[in-house]
Structure 1
Amino acid sequence: MPKLLIYGASGYTGLIAAHHASSLGLSFILGGRSGSTKVAALAQELSVEYRLFDVMQPGPIDTAFEGISVLLNCAGPFNLTAEPLMAACIRNGVHYLDIAAELDSYLFAEKLDLEARKAGVMLMPGCGGSVVMLGCLAGKAIENVKDPVGIDISLCVSGPMSRGSAISASRNMSSEVMQRENGELVTGEPGAIIQLDFDNGAGSVDNYPLTLPDLITIWKATKVRNIRTFVHVAGGVFPTGHLDALPDGPTQEEREAAPYHAAVKVTAQDGTVTAAVLHTVNGYTFTGLASTEAARKVLVGVFEPGFQTPAVVFGNDFVQTIGQSQVKIL
């Protein structure tokens, strides 16, 4: 039976994914860094096998990948874990999935695309989180748009951040904002604030430009030549003070009280604008559920070799199979 390896399973989102994999009855094992006692404890709780290895040691990785057909990498920071694990997946014929929010993982996948295709291996960074939310929303919005030339898309985030997310975000923060212009990634305007209505009762709100991996994935899926990505923060999401002292992440109650939304405007060649919104569960809940559902699909043979996006491989409706998510064309 094809088997899934969840690496970084003791992290905050990895834990959600592992529990969901168990509830689905998937054939899976847990993975973590050498010396991790949390992974061993979780494996005992879920009655599954576990394997420990470090990403910079090819030999132990190859041994750990024996009998594995799909890897779900939940271990950040992804600028350190994605490339060696992608290379190991290509080397061992294992499909690669991750939950990265940083650009690095997607740039690595672009670089390794041809090698992965030759090996018959799929590389799908961002199989959960904003890449599914925004990619599927953009895909639905342009389905009936003739000659789309521009996409402005934004994620409305709310609720507390996990410790891992806060630390990764602080390391990757930059004053430089990127956008897709005439098909190329270029430096954008940091102060280019736009107004969008998320259809959540708050009316039109400010959205700030932010470099999101969707600049790569939406471009890959749609080939719309001009794409800008934004974020609206509902409340004081980003923590202050000593990030290492933060709790692992929000409680289930905090997640349930903080749903996410997304909004998109697609401009056609003739100037017509199509707007759509997404209403969904909290981002951490969504990522844990969507990444596991993506892995389940790949386990039963739903994949395409090379660098791929969830919207392309699973379809634009994939987002609406996760946690009662709803896309609405306005």
Structure 2
Amino acid sequence: MMRRRKPMTTWLLYGATGYTGKLIVQEAAERGLRPVLAGRNKEKVQPLAEQLGLEFRIFELNNRTAAHLEGIDLVLHCAGPFEKTSKPMIHACLEAGAHYLDITGEIGVFEYTHSLHEEAEKKNIVLCSGVGFDVIPTDCTALKLKQALPDAIELALGFDSDSGISPGTMKTMVEGLGGGNMIRKDGQLAAVAIGKHQRMIDFGRGPKSAMAIPWGDVATAYYTTGIPNITAWIPTPKAAVKAARFMNVASPLLSSGKVKRPLMKWIERRVKGPDEEERAGSAAYIWGQAKNADGVVKTCRIDTANVYDLTVYGALEVTQRLLSGGYPGGSWTPAALFGPDLLESLPGSGRFEIDSFYPGTAN
């Protein structure tokens, strides 16, 4: 009997049965891709793998994880909260010689991944966190603005979307309760009170009240562009901004396990994530603005597929590009590896549109 030839490259998706992980697996199968599915729960992973005719592996994330990555060229890590799960998987990939990708949006993960740049570079391993909606759209927008205004010293990024929320994303939000906001100031991360920064922004659907949030770009966009002052924004009604300010007072309570544990259990029981129809009807609107010391302002906008579909498209696109080879080892952001055109290449994405304002001219 003829032995089946092993593919030239083998990749593993960890967290295959989570909301977003399963979406990626389904799209990969439709494209004829054959990831190895992995996770902790055999009762969930095995049926999905057998349904799609895919190999599967069951293992925990700990200091022995590398042994489970034998023969794997790349890991796409989709099991959050990534503040807890990414570190053992990253080190397992460095030990096993596999490229590492994840779909996090967590600042701490981006910072930790970046701290391993030299080790990854020496081993010719690519570490690229944030290959989903967090942070491909805003990261590519940041680089597009840097190219348009090379001497920019300030960068603001944000998005507007009606997408629903998945269980994993909500759990990450609960983990961050009481954590306040984070910005990049003079090249350094700085903690500030949530609700302190508020402004009006036209993300693409008219001016809206917006609030600065601790989005991953305050970490990644700095490494992509070198711009020293960075904030991230989402539409937030003024009443909600006032409520957010209350969180600064309630921070110790919100950070406690007594608050978080019941919320986590409720999420597991009740939150399912948006269905296909809901995703199809909720595009995302990406906005960015750069400013230099002379007051010149460049504003960039682009529409994309909804939050979760873009994560699927982005994660698979980066996976396939990396498996094709030719990229330098180290810790990279998506835009730093592939350029801003990565976003325009994804299904459902429009084209970048940039407006300019120069001091002394009419708005």
- Tell me the TM-score range normalised by the shorter chain: over 0.9
1:143 aligned counterpart, secondary structure: helix
Partner residue, 1:46: 52
Partner Cα separation in structure 1 for residue 73 and residue 317 of structure 2: 15
With structure 2 as the length reference, what TM-score do the two structures score?
0.84
Deviation digits for residues 291-323 of structure 1 (CA, Å, limit 9, x no counterpart): 111111111014321110100111111011112
Q: How does 1:239-278 map to 2 (within 5 A)?
A: 242-278=266-302
Counterparts of residues 1-330 of structure 1 (less than 5 Å): 1-33=8-40, 35-58=41-64, 61-190=65-194, 191-200=196-205, 203-232=206-235, 242-326=266-350, 327-330=352-355
Separation in structure 1 between the aligned mates of residue 178 and residue 207 of structure 2, nearest angstrom: 26
Residue by residue, what CA displacement relative to the aligned partner does 1:147-176 show, whole Å, maximum 9, x if unpaired? 111101112132321122112211113352
Q: Is the 8 A contact 1:16 1:289 kept in 2?
A: no
Output the CA distance in 2 between the equivalents of 1:113 and 1:142: 22
Please say which structure displays the higher CA radius of gyration. 2
Q: Relative to structure 2, which stretch is displaced further, 103-112 or 72-81?
A: 103-112
> Normalising to structure 1: TM-score of the pair?
0.92
Cα distance, 1:92 vs structure 2: 0.8
Whole-Å Cα distance in 2 between the matches of residues 151 and 29 of structure 1? 39
Instruction: Report the AA paired with residue 347 of structure 2.
Output: G
TM-superposed CA distance for 1:189, in Å, is 5.0
Which segments of 5 or more consecutive residues in structure 2 lack a partner in the other structure? 1-7, 241-261, 356-363
Question: How far did 1:57 drift?
Answer: 4.6
Paired AA for residue 228 in structure 2: R
Write the letter of the residue equivalent to 1:310. P
Q: What 5-or-longer segments of structure 1 have no aligned partner?
A: none
CA distance in structure 1 between the partners assigned to 2:178 and 2:233 by the alignment: 14
Contact 2:327 2:337 in 1 (8 A): yes
- Check the 8 A contact 2:118/2:330 in 1, yes or no: yes
Contact residue 335 and residue 342 of structure 2 kept, 8 A: yes
How many residues are matched? 321
Deviations 1:106-153 (A, max 9, x none): 122123222212211111110111310101011112322141111011
d(CA) in 1 for partners of 2:162 and 2:97? 38
| Percent of residue pairs identical | 29
Q: Which amino acid aligns with 1:193?
A: Q
Tell me how far 1:272 sits from its aligned partner.
Answer: 0.7
Alpha-carbon distance in 2 for matches of 1:322, 1:233: 28
